[in-house]
């Protein structure tokens, strides 16, 4: 190994060690003290809620009752895993010199929609044991990530082999994602057309139209602001497609959640509730506060990335774009699931 490569190699092994250490400690803990590490931690906060959600009934293990699906503990762990996945993906895409921009988002959006739609099919009791566990949150999103990574490697391999000018990583991702998505959309379409296989409160396409209308009513003014307000150089970031996608995703989540839980227009919607502690806190304070805070947060994120630290971000364009796509997914995926669930009446 060349001397110049030694620090990088050393840092890589340090990162790998830091990632593996918690896993090794957890595995040893499960072997030596299962009642603490498995029963009171893994089962209570992670696997137990998944089993309870999949079976749709109360469960217990060695007398331990699962916690709520999302707690501060579970959300912290999931947040660390998401951050680790983003950083790992960043290093991989940087090594491959694959541009991360709005076109990349379009190529991966079938996977994102697939995760949400498949999750709604699980809500509608489409899947049975043991397959049903694979479609419960958060495993459905890990499944989507694995499918994405598999097709990412296939696409990169075929692009390097120069099989055909049309065969690129992005086209393979998009086509592969559609292959996953189309079957789920087929069964959702059957449901919408009246071929239901379980109980429903009724198909509500009016909710989909209402939510999308309100989302566009919030996104379009921001686009016009970025497009026409002077100085254009300062605020043009608000008309950027990737930034507008972030706003669209979180408005879909914020407005969809508010309407599905509180039914402000008295449309006769079934009762739902919010599982995420932070979101529920805002909704309990004042229901409209949830979409308002989401709107303001995305506006601030755009300002920080593309106005306040614009010059600094020029040095890390791939990382900035990847973080924006991650932020988009965190809003769009649960938002789409909420809206589709109400539309299907499950």
Other CB atoms within 10 Å distance of the CB of residue 124: 21
Please give the pLDDT value at position 4. Answer: 46
Torsion of CA 173, 176, 182, 184, to 10 degrees: -90
List the one residue out of 18, 46, 51, 17 whose CA is nearest residue 30: 46
- Cβ neighbours, 10 Å, residue 249: 25
* Prediction pTM value: 0.91
pLDDT of residue 6: 43
- What's the pLDDT score for residue 1? 44
**Residues in the chain, pLDDT under 70:** 1-16, 18-19
Query: What is the per-residue pLDDT for 70?
Result: 86
Instruction: Say if residues 294 and 253 touch (Cβ distance below 8 Å).
Output: yes
């Amino acid at each position: 190994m060349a001397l110049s490569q030694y620090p990088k190699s050393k840092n890589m092994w340090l990162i790998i060690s830091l990632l593996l250490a918690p896993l090794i400690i957890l595995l040893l803990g499960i072997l030596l003290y299962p009642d603490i590490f498995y029963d009171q931690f893994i089962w209570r906060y992670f696997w137990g809620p998944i089993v309870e959600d999949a079976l749709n009934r109360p469960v217990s293990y060695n007398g331990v009752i699962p916690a709520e699906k999302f707690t501060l503990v579970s959300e912290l762990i999931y947040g660390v895993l998401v951050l680790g996945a983003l950083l790992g993906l960043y290093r991989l895409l940087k090594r491959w010199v694959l541009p991360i921009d709005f076109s990349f988002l379009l190529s991966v959006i079938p996977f994102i929609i697939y995760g949400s739609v498949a999750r709604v099919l699980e809500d509608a009791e489409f899947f049975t044991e043991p397959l049903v566990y694979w479609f419960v949150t958060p495993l459905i999103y890990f499944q989507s990530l694995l499918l994405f990574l598999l097709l990412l490697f296939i696409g990169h391999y075929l692009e390097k082999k120069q099989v055909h000018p049309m065969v690129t990583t992005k086209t393979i991702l998009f086509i592969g994602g559609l292959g996953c998505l189309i079957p789920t959309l087929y069964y959702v379409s059957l449901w919408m057309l009246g071929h239901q296989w379980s109980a429903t409160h009724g198909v509500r396409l009016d909710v989909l139209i209402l939510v999308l209308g309100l989302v566009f009513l919030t996104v379009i003014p921001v686009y016009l602001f970025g497009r026409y307000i002077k100085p254009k150089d300062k605020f043009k970031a608000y008309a950027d497609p990737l930034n507008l996608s972030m706003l669209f995703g979180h408005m879909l989540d914020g407005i969809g959640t508010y309407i599905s839980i509180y039914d402000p227009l008295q449309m006769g919607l079934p009762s739902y509730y919010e599982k995420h502690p932070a979101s529920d806190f805002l909704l309990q304070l004042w229901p409209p506060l949830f979409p308002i805070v989401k709107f303001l947060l995305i506006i601030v994120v755009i300002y920080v990335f593309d106005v306040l630290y614009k010059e600094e971000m020029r040095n890390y364009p791939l990382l900035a774009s990847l973080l924006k796509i991650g932020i988009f997914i965190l809003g769009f995926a649960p938002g789409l699931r909420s809206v589709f669930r109400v539309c299907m009446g499950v």
